[in-house]
Structure 1
């Protein structure tokens, strides 16, 4: 399981130009069952994604295809988590 932080860079003002592509990239991640959750970092710091069903290398490659990353609108940080305990609703993530 992974958490991806997409933090706005000095090119934040370009976000509107690449928003459609970024939203399509997010949709593709959900369609391919890699992304579990996506949302904003508050207050207006960027975004975050929880991902699974992928490897670190595959996820890093996917993140590098995000138009926001390609155009330096955000900087990306990927953290791998090895879940050991979870609420029953999230048990599918334990040991994944």
Structure 2
């Protein structure tokens, strides 16, 4: 299981130009079952690197996820920088037991 943090980067001002393609990329990840949860990072502010998004991902290898993240138009165009953290689930609420694999 992975947490992907997409933090605003040098080309943040170009987000609007690539927003629909980014949303399509997210929809594809959800449809293919790799993305379990997607949302905004809070709080948003005008500070460099503040704000962006977060993704909970499952069902892909790190290499597969890294390749998928590089396909995000926001990453490709440096609207955001991506940080991927892997978690080895050890315990979970029964509703999330499927993550224990």
> What TM-score bracket applies, with the shorter chain setting the length?
over 0.9
Q: Partners of 1:28 and 1:39 in 2: how far apart?
A: 15
Q: TM-score, normalised by structure 2?
A: 0.92
Deviation at 1:17, TM superposition (A): 0.3
Q: Partners of 2:42 and 2:12 in 1: how far apart?
A: 15
Root-mean-square deviation (CA, aligned residues, Å) is: 0.6
Please tell me whether residue 83 in structure 1 is matched to residue 89 in structure 2. yes
- Which aligned pairs between 1:1-96 and structure 2 lie closer than 5 A? 1-44=1-44, 45-94=51-100, 96=101
Unaligned ranges ≥5, structure 2: 45-50
Deviation at 1:38, TM superposition (A): 0.2
Deviation at 1:10, TM superposition (A): 2.1
Secondary structure in 2 aligned to 1:13? helix
Q: Partners of 1:74 and 1:89 in 2: how far apart?
A: 32
Deviation at 1:11, TM superposition (A): 1.2
Secondary structure in 2 aligned to 1:37? strand
Deviation at 1:43, TM superposition (A): 1.6
Unaligned ranges ≥5, structure 1: none
Q: Partners of 1:8 and 1:43 in 2: how far apart?
A: 13
